Structure 1
């Protein structure tokens, strides 16, 4: 079991990038941008999240004569989770509802990126919400992993 567990952890770490400088977590997807965003929406909704909007930036850019690689933003959340965070630190409302962006790079590789909840803790000096932050972190990790496989 040990070598399989370590191998699985290593594979996840190698396919995930957490950048402490900008507070983002990025996962490599094996699917297209559209399929990844669709799958993220489905998984998030199954877990009680509300999908507030989905924005296809490439499609909107095309309407004004700008060409972008595929780029989709999904805005989602759940007041049962977001409201307690705002009660701990009202300023976190600027970062809620939550978002994921799914992009295709110049090599046709697809990536799913979201805000690291620990970054939000530091950014907004959130205190007394450790259990909520842990729940959000686990949920986002699970949603993202499910959407990118």
Structure 2
């Protein structure tokens, strides 16, 4: 059951992120931001994990979605989802609206596009604030947005 839930979550994240085409953070439909990495999927993941560690942020897990697909006899391009966060910051969002826990901890999707390039995608924190009608954490959402963009930018160098 756990594998099915993870696979369904992965499918929901892959579809909007697969539309990623731009090299600077953009806000396409469904509140997804993305940047193009200058590295392959595995190197991109390692760079993100190193930047997370350097910032003192807690790394929770890495899910190899293409491996999940292979286990279900479904071939997808290389795709990994990483979860990380700063509990003292993230829990503030949960205290404003417990359902925001559906979007915490932070998730970043690293995927190989159809053209072979690699994208890093994540949910725009402004979108999350609107989604859960959180209006009392503007400074915290701004900080989370800046940190996520900084982490993603570690893959563009």
Give the TM-score, by structure 1 length: 0.86
Aligned 8 A contact 2:25 2:149 in 1: no
Matches within 5 A, 1:1-149: 15-149=23-157
RMSD: 1.3
- Once the two structures are TM-superposed, the CA of residue 64 in structure 1 deviates from its matched residue by 2.7
- Once the two structures are TM-superposed, the CA of residue 42 in structure 1 deviates from its matched residue by 1.0
Unaligned 5+ runs, structure 2: 1-21
Aligned 8 A contact 1:89 1:127 in 2: no
Aligned 8 A contact 2:66 2:75 in 1: yes
Segments ≥4 residues shifted beyond 6 Å: none
Describe the SS at the equivalent of 1:22. helix
Aligned 8 A contact 2:120 2:152 in 1: yes
Counterpart Cα distance in 2 of 1:21 and 1:75: 22
Largest Rg, 1 or 2: 1
Deviations 1:86-105 (A, max 9, x none): 11222211111110000101
